[in-house]
Amino acid sequence: MSAPGVLLIEDDDAIAAGLVRVLQGQGHQVDRLALGRNALEAARDDVGLVILDLGLPDVDGLEVCRRLRHARPDLAILILTARDQELDVVAGLDAGADDYLVKPFRLGELLARVRAHLRRAGDDSAPFEVGEIRVDVGSRRAWRGERELALRPKEFDLLALLIGSAGRVVTRQRIMEEVWDTAWMGSTKTLDTHVATLRQQVGPETITTLRGVGYRFELT
Ligand code: CA
């Protein structure tokens, strides 16, 4: 079976041409749509990642995102927004997007995210390894270089969740749901405290705070 491909939905011809060239240069199979209305038909089973511009001329990008998520729960969706607004980002993540980039973005940043998303389709049981951090979910052990980390249970769960989504934002809501088993949206001081202690173990640069949104484990 060939590697999952990328579907790019972007109305700006100049941006799209540049992205297609760069992605193809990295060996990815890429299809491009300039409009959103045929997104569902184009997101065939061999597409593993959709890069979706939210500002499309024919349909609301958020609606496209919702429909794609509904039709293909396993699909990775990376939204592009020109509007540097927290609300758009949050609305996009609520509509089912896995990740976002705000224009203008660095191509290196985009390529790192694309690699991370397409790798997710690979073997789930393999240990996660990003930079000098390695996490084996099966044995619940984690290392920084040669040194094994002494993590409390929630710190381990948090690390596993973040590194499993390395390069992508994980929302505070998702962390609360998956690590603390609660949709509690009030004060999340406990979460901040755990991130702070985790950072001491994995290195402060490793986990980025996206204020009001969540956290991202950085690809190196
Ligand atoms: Ca646009």
Task: State in Å: Cα 45 to ligand 1 middle.
Answer: 25
143: buried, middle or exposed (CB in 10 Å: 19+, 13-18, 0-12)?
A: middle
Q: Write out the residue limits of the CATH 1.10.10.10 domain(s) in the chain.
A: 128-217
Percent of the chain topping pLDDT 70: 91
Report the separation in Å between the CA atom of 213 and the middle of ligand 1, taken as the mean of its atom positions.
23
Distance 54 CA to ligand 1 centre (A): 7
- pLDDT tens, residue by residue, 145-171: 999 999 998 999 999 999 988 888 999
Output the CA 140–ligand 1 centroid distance in Å.
43
Give the pLDDT band of residue 1 (cuts 50, 70, 90): very low
Question: From the CA of 88, how far away is ligand 1's center (Å)?
Answer: 14
Q: What is the mean pLDDT of the chain?
A: 88
Residue 162 host element (H or E): helix 153-164
Expressed in angstroms and rounded, the spacing between residue 62 Cα and the centre of ligand 1 is: 13
Helix axes 107-119, 13-25, angle to 10 degrees: 60
User: Can you name the residues that pair with 9 across neighbouring β-strands?
Assistant: 33, 52
Tell me the CA–centroid distance for residue 10 and ligand 1, in Å. 6
Exposed, middle or buried, 141 (CB in 10 Å: 0-12/13-18/19+)?
Answer: middle
What pLDDT sits at residue 86? 67
The alpha carbon of 11 and the centre of ligand 1 are apart by a number of angstroms equal to 5
Of 31-35, 41-45, 196-200, minimum mean pLDDT range: 41-45
Longest dimension (CA), the chain: 53
- CB crowding 25-62: b at 16 or more within 10 Å, else e: eeebebbbbbebeebeebbeeebbbbbbbbebeeeebb
Q: How confident is the model at residue 34 (pLDDT cuts 50, 70, 90)?
A: very high
Where in the chain do CATH 3.40.50.2300 domains reside?
Answer: 5-121
Say if residue 40's pLDDT is above 80: yes
Q: Residue 152 gets which letter from DSSP?
A: -
183, pLDDT greater than 80 = no
Band (61; pLDDT cuts 50, 70, 90): very high
3-state secondary structure of 61: helix
Judged against a pLDDT cut of 80, whether residue 36 lies above it is answered with: yes
Is the pLDDT score of 196 beyond 90?
A: yes
Confidence (pLDDT) at 123: 45
| Confidence category of residue 35, pLDDT binned at 50, 70, 90 | very high
Whether 122 shows a pLDDT value over 60: the answer reads no
Q: Which residues surround ligand 1, an ion (CB under 5 A)?
A: 11, 53, 55
Question: What are the pLDDT digits (tens) for 89-120?
Answer: 888 988 999 888 888 888 888 888 887 788 76
35 CA distance to ligand 1 middle (Å): 9
* Domain 128-217 = CATH 1.10.10.10: yes
The pLDDT of 51-67, averaged and rounded, is 95
User: How many alpha carbons lie under 13 Å from residue 81 in its C-beta half-sphere?
Assistant: 20
pTM, two decimal places: 0.62
CA of 5 to the centre of ligand 1 (A): 22
* CA of residue 47 to ligand 1 center, whole Å: 21
CATH fold, domain 5-121, is Rossmann fold (3.40.50)
Measured in angstroms, how far is the CA atom of residue 179 from the centroid of ligand 1? 36
